[in-house]
Structure formats: structure tokens, C-alpha cells
Structure 1
């Protein structure tokens, strides 16, 4: 018998309904599945979030509007203690003009988008193009003299992992200093996507701090072909994005559906409400946002009262290296032991097939039991593995059981994520409903079962 099979399973959940007798085992998950399947408000909410409010850059008025909308929805859905928790964002960033064109060869206009949280060009610049393809800091320093004043197409750059360095922050500081001293006129970063789709990244701690833009893969390939043929491309470019003059506070939205037996213990159901601004943020992460709202709505509508408190947290600053979730962990440092588990959805609208156990043996069996009522929905997988990259990471680093679902990829990574086509059109309704049902059933199981053990913290808060 494997260690997985030997672990005790989650205790059977008991349905607690006000002024009603206990329901048969499994009744609560079935009612949640039915409620979401027949009366879901997922698509209506997503359409309002994307088409009425739109892109939700952290620190922007549109995100503030979206957060007010979400708090009104949560109150209408029966949540209590609906409030915002703030943290210091620094100077907010705004987008501006972004344009570039070849001054020789075919004279084509180049599709560029300024990297977030970078200073712009402060006017039009004209410069020759050079290619950068290095792996180590020493290689970069050797090539730096030829990069001064150039538009540099960054095919690869030095990284701490390339040199076996564990002091990543110190390494990045060294590289940033060398980059500044190289006096590069403009960095162009090829998009990771095909078909003319853009890419986006950036935040206060991002490596590129000034004069950097993403360029579509096809146009990056054009520049490389010209260089390979012996022609030095010359580019004219202007980036007008920049920073506000004063520091601002950013916020997370927090709301509770109180538990009956252990209201001080919480299962956090979360998503990041912020988005990049090339599209309307439908799949990244409007879908996760409306799923969190829907699960709370369904619990309240079905008159289900869990043993523990369900806490919905809509984070901001996820796209800037988990600023909101890290701020939440820091703010609630004294209460982290009261978190039963964290569930975060952040991979588009694809159907959910299960959750990895985060390579923690003690979490496997409770997770299997919580997910069991979702078998009819096709969600049965609890593999040995880790999903990171979103707000669950901030909690997992502190040893808290924190899970993200395994989802059908659809066109999320290849097309919609961080691109200009992150729009309502790419959301599959039937899959989104199934995902909300699986999240609701899993959350219910974790709200009802025995306490999950915490692990030793993997990082300091």
C-alpha cells in the first residue's frame, strides 16, 4: 500500500442548514453543483467586468471601479465583513503612445508595447539595431561596449540560474548596474506568442526599469533576418508610458461567509482582480474573479452554512510579482495558523480535472476526499506535483495548504494571457461553469473536514 493510500481521508461532511435537519452525506456538494449549473451568474458577471469596466491595471481608476463593483456583488450575495485591505504600491504606472518603424529595409511599422513599470523614451529616438544573445554576466559585460546607444533585440540575457548563483537578488542588482552602465537606447523583448500577439510583464521589482518594449515575434524575426543578411536595421521609436507623481495605496477585496463551528478558521477562495491592459482581462483573471463570487453566491443561495468561514479574497498586484497576496500574508502574519487552506484559480476558463497535492503527503488524502463529489464533473486527478506562479505561492511559501487547479489549457498560454486578445470571446461558458462547480465542491470539503497540517515555512514573509 502506498503512503497515499495509508493516509486517513477527510471526515464525512455534515450539512448544516438553518432550522433544518441534517442532510444525507453528499447532499451539500450536489446542491452546489445544481445551483451553479442552473442559476449561475458567471457569464453575466464576467461580461460586466470585461465589457463595462475593462482592463484593470493595479493602481488604476478602472481597478478601483472593479473593486467597488465586486464589493457590491459580494454584499448582495450574502457576504459579511466586506472590506478592502490596503498596501503601499508606490507610484502608479500608466501606458502611453508606443510606436516604432524601420527607417531602412522595407520601412515597416513595428508592433511594440511598452513594458509595464518602465520609464518611456521621453521623445522619439533613432538608432541602429543590435542583437543580444548571452548567458552570463561576463559575456554581457564583454559585449556591452557595442550596445551603447543601440536598439537591442534581447534574444537572451544573463540569469543567476545560468551561473549556478543562489543569491538571485544580488545577481540581479549586479546585472542591473551593468545594464545601466551599457547605456542601451531601447530594449526590445520578443513576444512568446505567434500570430502577431503581444506579450506583457513588469512591476516595481522587474529587471527592466526604463526604455523597454515587447515586440511581436514576427517582427523580431524580421530584424534577425536582416542582421543575418548583413544589413543593420535602423529603427525610430517612441514610448510614452510612465509614472504618476505621487505614491498610492493598492487594495485587496476581502469578504466572509461565516462558519458555524469554527468561524475563526478560514478557507480562502481567491483570484487576482487586476489585469494587464492590452485586452480586457477576461481569462487573466476575470474568470477566476467571477468563479470566486459564484461559489460564495451558490453557498448562500443554497442556504449552506459550513463549519469554517469561507473567505473570498480578490487580490491586486498579482501581475507585479504577487504584491497583493504577499501584502495579505504580511498583514495577517499572526493569524496564518487559522487558515485551513487556500484555493486560487488563475489559468483561464478551461475545465478543471483536479488539483496537485503540492508534493505534501499529508495533504493528499484530504484533498482527494474534498474533490470526490466532483467525480461526476470529470475532476478526479490529485497528482504528485506543484502548481505555482499565482497568489497561492505567497501562502505555500509559508507552509499553508494552498492549491491551484489543473485546467484544460485551451488557448490561454498560447493566445490570451497578457495579450491584446484576452477578451470575453475566448471564454467557454460550459467549461467555466464546470470549473466553478469543482471549486465549490472542493472548497466545501475543505471547509468541513479535519484540520490540514501546515508545513515549515519555505521563505520569510
Structure 2
């Protein structure tokens, strides 16, 4: 018979061995998050609610307000705390109306146009001959001014600042504004950036001169150019009745937290922009990013993980009008920006995540490489020596804060869906969206632990867009 003391010691040893083996076989937090999202993500139904039920989400519109209410309900249901809106001044909101154009001579065909956002309507039909502006410098534009007065101007190229003018951009912009005022065109026709009959959109409340501006498809702009090349001056009738609201309004960001276990450890911001252009429902720009962020927050709560640092979700507005929401957030939270560990913003379409630029900061390269290691089974995921710009992470990067936006499989995002009427759910892959949510969740968790990332005093330059 075994002595009681020996029997107890053996039992304890066996129990410890069992616990140790169980601990070694238990999945890591990163693996738990990836598995939870793979098994239970409802990303496509979420995207359908956002894009098919709510639809376009122009900043300052009722559609964006509905989307923000929807997002806050989802975040609260996913266990987020401190779910709220944060306001900033937008200026006068803008609404779209009808837009039409047609040739008054030649074939008399209708022309495919849309009104540029944050521009004045025509207040009835405007008629005029078409003149072409192809001016790459202010001097070239000044020379063309006499030929533009009273014309409907097809803008093939407008002046951009040269190397010397870059040193005093306010002066260049003021000179350009004066040139347009001196030109006194009846209206402008800007050419869409994408082909295949796709309409395009841009503009915002920071424009200094609000003119009658339409965006014409590339194919119909080519019709006008061919007529001019053959010596026939096109005559066009243009009508647009979009315009501005009567008074300035506020826009909002959605903010929600998954509190960290250490209130002194800072936070990781997980973001996307909830606003969209209004020609389509904004599925790839940026409904897919919003859904990935919501799913990452859901998974963190569902698995029951408690991050050391707070994970804060921010769904920005005004991104399409010049990063207005992220700039407002940074200004309002200036006192706590030193506590931000990193900012992750997804906004490069709906393709699978392929990696991240390190923003040309060596210490950030090391941290990103380490943080992405547990997600490599979802990859491959590269960390590249590059600076990405063009979305809300840029606001934080310019302040020296570690801020990253994923590189994603472009699919047809840059050529087809971005800012067009074709930005619909049909261009979203469910498998890619699940993978993006997995990567964002794992990376947010990893950065919510471990060493602090340094902020930098001078940010590197770069040209990569998102």
C-alpha cells in the first residue's frame, strides 16, 4: 500500500501535468479569434443591411444618420461600452437632385452627367457652346480665359501647382480661384476618371468657389471632342437641381470601446469610414471596412478576451470630403493622442488583406512583423517599406502616431467600384471579407499587448494611396 503522503504528492504531480498539457494545447487568442470569425461571422448579412436597407451614406445626409444609429446598435450588442456619437461642424449639407444634359446640335443625343458634390445647381437649364480647357499651368489658363466666357467648358486638364508653387499653396489656390472667376463660364464639364460608362464623384464643403459643375462620362466627353476635332462646335443644354441646405449642420463619428484591463496602457484605435458617396450604396468604399471592424469587435467579445489596452472602434464620417471626421477626432482628443498605441484603418476595397506598409519607420516594421506573425496562416501577409495615404489613418500618421491601413487585393476596386454607381455588394467576396475581419481582429489584439510603439517627430514622405 502506498503511503498517504506519497499518494497525495503523486496525485498533485499528475494534476499539474494534466494542466500543463492542457495549457500547451489550448489555442492562442489569435487562433481563437480567427476560428470564431470563421465559424460565426455574418459579414454578408451585415453588409446587406448597411448597403441594401440603408443605402448611400453621404456625409450630412439622413442616410448616414440611419447608418450611425444602426452601427451603434450593433456595437452595443457586441459588448462595446461607451457607445456614442461625437459631433463636429460640417458646414452647409449638400443634397443631390436631378441632372440632365443633351446636345442641341449634331445628333441631339442625351449626355450622361451627374452634378459634382458640393456645387451649385443651374436654377433651370443652361445652354451654351462647348469650349475645351486643357491647361496644365496658370499661365496656360490665363491665356485661355477669353475663350471660356459664357461657354460650357469641357475640362480636360486644369492647372496644378508646380515645384515653386508648392512652396506657397494658398497663393496658388487664390490665383486659380481668381482665374475661374475671371473666366465666367456658364458651367463646367469634368471628365470621369473611370471608363465603361461609369459615373464618378468627388467634392466637399471646403471648396472655395462653388460653380455649376457636372461630371460627364469619358465616352460622352469623347463625343464632344470628336465633334470639335471635325470643326463642329457642340451646343449643350445642361440642368442640375442639387444644392445646399439652408443652414450649417454638424456631422458625427461613431465611437465605442472594449475596455482594457490596464487603464494606463493606452489604446488601439480600430477604424473605418461609414460615409460613402451617393451614386451607389458604398459596399467596397467603405461598407466592407465597416463590417470587418464590427466583426472584429464582435469576435473579441464573443471569445471573452480581455485586452490589456482598450480597443476603441471609430467609424469616421466625412472621409470622402477630405478626412474631416478623423481630423475632428484628432482635434477633440488631442490630450490623449500620446496614449494611442496604434491606429488601424481598413479602407482599400473589399479584397483580402495582403499585408501592411510599415510607413517607413523601422521600429514600426519590427512591431508589425511581430504582431502579424500569429495571422500568417490567414495570409501570406507582408510588411512592406512604404507609406500609404488617402484615408483616415493619414490624419494620425501626420501627427507621428503609428497608423496603418492594410494593402488589399485590388480586385476591381480602383478601376470599377470606387466612387461609382457600381459600388455594390455584387463586387464583394464573402471569403475575402471574412479574412479581412480575421486579420484586423488578430492585429488589434496583438497590438493591444506587448511593448509600446514609439511615436515619431518627423514622418516620412510617401506616395502610395489607399
TM-score range, shorter chain: over 0.9
1:196 aligns with 2:197: yes
Give the deviation of 1:170 after TM superposition.
2.5
- Mapped pair 1:429 → 2:426: no
How far off is 1:206 after superposition?
A: 3.3
Q: What is the Cα deviation at residue 44 of structure 1?
A: 1.1
Residue equivalent to 2:241: 240
Tell me the TM-score normalized by structure 1: 0.93
State the 4+ residue runs in structure 1 displaced beyond 6 angstroms: 21-26
Greater C-alpha radius of gyration: 2
1:99 deviation in Å? 0.4
- Matched with 1:388 is 389
User: Who is 1:410 aligned against?
Assistant: 411
* Aligned residue number for residue 455 of structure 1: 456
Tell me by how many angstroms 1:62 deviates: 1.0
SS in 1 for 2:189: strand
Secondary structure at the counterpart of residue 256 of structure 2: strand
- Find out whether 1:152 has 2:153 as its counterpart: yes
1:327–1:22 CA distance, 2 compared to 1 (3 A): farther
Q: 5 Å matches for 1:39-438?
A: 39-161=40-162, 164-206=165-207, 209-262=210-263, 265-438=266-439
Query: Which residue is 2:15 aligned to?
Result: none
Q: Return the TM-score normalized by structure 2.
A: 0.92
Aligned mates of 2:378, 2:212 — CA distance in 1: 48
Mind listing any 5+ residue stretches in structure 2 that lack a counterpart? 1-21, 461-466
Q: CA deviation at 1:262?
A: 3.9
Residues in 1 aligned to 2:353 and 2:101: alpha-carbon distance in whole angstroms: 41
Report if aligned partners of 2:81, 2:257 keep a CA contact under 8 Å in 1: yes
The 3-state SS of whatever aligns with 2:382 is coil
Deviation string, structure 1 residues 1-30 (Cα, Å, up to 9, x no partner): xxxxxxxxxxxxxxxxxxxx9787960000
Whole-angstrom CA distance in 2 between matches of 1:307 and 1:84? 25
Contact 1:115-1:202 within 8 A present in 2 as well: yes
Q: Secondary structure at the match of 1:85?
A: strand
| Structure 2 residue matching 1:166: 3-state secondary structure | helix
Distance 1:453 1:254 in 2: 24
Q: Is contact 1:136–1:162 with CA below 8 Å preserved after alignment?
A: no
Secondary structure, aligned partner of 1:87: strand
How many aligned residue pairs are there? 439
Over the aligned positions, Cα root-mean-square deviation in angstroms equals 1.6
How far apart are the structure 2 equivalents of 1:263 and 1:26?
28
Asked if 1 retains the 8 angstrom alpha-carbon contact of 2:353 and 2:381, the reply is no
Do 2:192 and 2:217's aligned partners in 1 also have CA atoms closer than 8 Å?
Answer: yes
Alpha-carbon separation, structure 2, partners of 1:207 and 1:425: 37
Aligned mates of 1:33, 1:276 — CA distance in 2: 32
Cα shift readout 1:348-390 (whole Å, capped 9, x = no counterpart): 1101111010011110011001111111111320010011100
8 Å Cα contact 2:273-2:289 kept in structure 1 = yes
Q: 1:142 deviation in Å?
A: 1.2
Question: Aligned partners of 1:379 and 1:291: how far apart in 2?
Answer: 19
